[in-house]
Amino acid sequence: MDPNQNPNYYNPNTPPNRNTNTPPPNWVFTPSPMNPFFDSNCYRPNFDSSPQGFYTFADYGSSPQPHGFTQLSQDEVVPETQAVTNAGPSTQPKQKRRHRRKQAADTEPAVGGSSRIEKWTTEEEFQLTKAWIDVSEDPIVGRNQKGPDFWSKIRNQFFQAMGRGEYRTNDMLSSKWRDMNLKVRKFNGIYSQKWQTRRSGQSDAMIEREAEEQYREEFNVPFSLQRRLGVAVGFAVASCAIAAVMVGRRVKSRRRWWRVVRAVDEFEEAAATPVGRLRQVVDAMAVEMHAGLASEGGSKLKMLLTYVDNLPDGSENGIYYALHVGGTNFRILRIQLGGQRSIIEHDVERKPIPQLLMTSTSEEFFDFIASSLKEFVETKGNGLQLAEVRRKDLGFTFSFPVKQTSVSSGTLIKWTKGFAIEDMVEKDVVECLEKALSRRGLDMNVAALVNDSVGTLAVGHFIDNDTVAAVVIGTGTNACYLERADAVIKCQGLLTTSGGVVINMEWGNFWSSHLPRTSYDIELDSESQNPNDQGFEKMISGLYLGDIVRRVICRLCIESDIFGSLSSKLSTRFVLRRAARLAAAGIVGILKKIGRDGTGGIAGGRIKGYKSGKMRRSVVAVEGGLYTSYTIFREYLNNAVAEILGEEIAPYVILKMMEDGSGIGTAMLAASNSARSVDTVQVL
């Protein structure tokens, strides 16, 4: 079928020599983003047989449906090509219509009254196309141009490029434009179908050749609007505004895009966390926990003894204070507990630590802390006299490496986070604090020295006695859990009143060959301040996830010269998903170690003597900005835990979101460990 016989081509009553001073009717175009062959920012004029509608390229290849257009005032946005004037119903026979159309499109009478017919050359088609693109992509006004001005600019550029004066009328240009537009639309529809049904291994060039052959078979004419462009990688349609330059750009863009897809696929495959791999990580975590409890240095997991065996149970009463020193700011808290798991009152104050004190002496540093606490007590104590504070217990969260010697004592191993108070190293931090408090008239008792994760476990246990573990996933990450005292083999003769003890895992240093490590992880680790250390933390904590995403985006930019929300969303989703699912595997590893994952019969978390072997509830307290603030991360983690455990066990494992374990939890530990004359945890 001849493409020129399409009845949806144009209005046959358009006057061929309409007065060019009369502005055409105003109309707007709809972009066609579904077309894989052309740029989505390019408008595509296509007309049907009615001046009240037009077709878009996206409609070709299915069943074209006319789209209505919006009438605009003369001052509004313009047409990107000349509109067809409606001169009323056609009364001419169909054969005449084809004759007029062909004459207007392929050959035109020369301007000036001559009857000589001049055929359009390939160079003219190319220059007309180039003029349309240059004008429509004006960096200042773009497509926001009025019709007469728009086509006047195209006309001027066309004549200037041809160097022959004004030898064609406006109608000749617009008529030729419509003819090229229709042919390209048809070819593009064929190409789109070929692309969507492409076979494995087919290149762009092969698809283009097949499209040309099908076009020739369907319309008995070759697709003649072809030209090789220097910017194109392969075949480009160079004679229409959309086909001339945009195809070359699109082919090149598509090849760049496939390189992006390959890069993303490679990362997704390397970072994959199928449930089978996660269960391997679970087993590896449990094995490393056993090794860490057996001997010092026997595992990447430090498995530190916290000497905490008495967790809050909700029955605590009274007023308790807490200090949290862990960075350039510190916090002071005061809580009043009313029994029955209730918090009657809760006050908190944050204060910056002066830069000078971070490198001063231990006495000056702790005097500042004590003075701030005294001021807080006087302000928030509701009239409480300092003498009445004498017997109040204080919880102390000290977020620096400490070798703990009891529940309320420990020596500083080294400073981090910009602190360098030399005379403090290897001193008991609690002793230094209590001396400073005494100098300020605050004879308070430091009842507990803990870290963030232990504080989170305390809050969780205060709310729900079934809480057996706690995880912090924020800037950094750590976990702790309640272990049987007799399981801590490296501390032979460990005695506790409760029979259990809280173990600080320091799980950020966990490592296993089953972890899905990518090239981006390897680069990040080698360039970090602590290479070959904290491997698990570098894959799941907030401090490092952004850097991994940055590295992935940089790779995508190199592959495709793109940067934006798409590449960011792609890489962020994979990085977050991997981090959440690995954290979930770590949580299930803890449950497996303490027999709460359902894999060991009665020892696997089932209640002895219960006739149906019902599972015990196991609550895990989770804190940290990555979990509490990012809904998608939380959903990934929760779903992964359920997936690993399976439908039968998952309902008995509850993840509870906690807040301020390093503050409220520490004060609660002070409450649960207050007024003790002897340590309840002893190592014989």
Per-residue pLDDT at 17 exceeds 50: no
Rounded CA-CA distance 343/335 in Å is: 7
Helices (H), 489-595: 519-527, 537-540, 542-560, 565-593
Q: Is pLDDT larger for residue 270 or for residue 109?
A: 270
Give residues with Cβ within 8 angstroms of 135, minimum separation 6. 145, 150, 153, 154, 157
DSSP labels for 28-97? -----TT-TTS-TTS----B-SSTTEE--GGGTTS----EE-----TTSPPPSSPPPP--SS--S-HHHH
Query: Which three-class secondary structure state does DSSP give residue 122?
Result: helix
Domain 281-562+569-599+616-673: top CATH class: alpha beta
Q: Residues 126-162: pLDDT tens digits?
A: 888 888 777 776 656 655 667 677 788 888 888 888 8
- Domain ranges in the chain are 122-228, 281-562+569-599+616-673
Rounded CA-CA distance 242/224 in Å is: 15
Q: Residues 532-553: pLDDT tens digits?
A: 989 999 999 998 998 898 888 8
Residue 570 has a pLDDT of 62
What pTM was estimated for this model as a whole? Answer: 0.62
As given in the structure block, the two tokens for residue 7 are: 């009845």
Residue 341: count other Cβ atoms within 10 Å of its Cβ: 15
> 97-121 as b/e, with b when 16 or more CB fall inside 10 Å?
beeebeebbeebbeeeeeeeeeebe
Q: Residues 21-32: pLDDT tens digits?
A: 433 443 333 343
Q: Residues 421-479: pLDDT tens digits?
A: 989 999 999 999 999 999 998 888 899 999 889 999 999 999 999 999 999 998 889 99
Rounded CA-CA distance 547/533 in Å is: 17
β-bridge pairing 477-484 and 500-504 = antiparallel
Rounded CA-CA distance 403/428 in Å is: 9
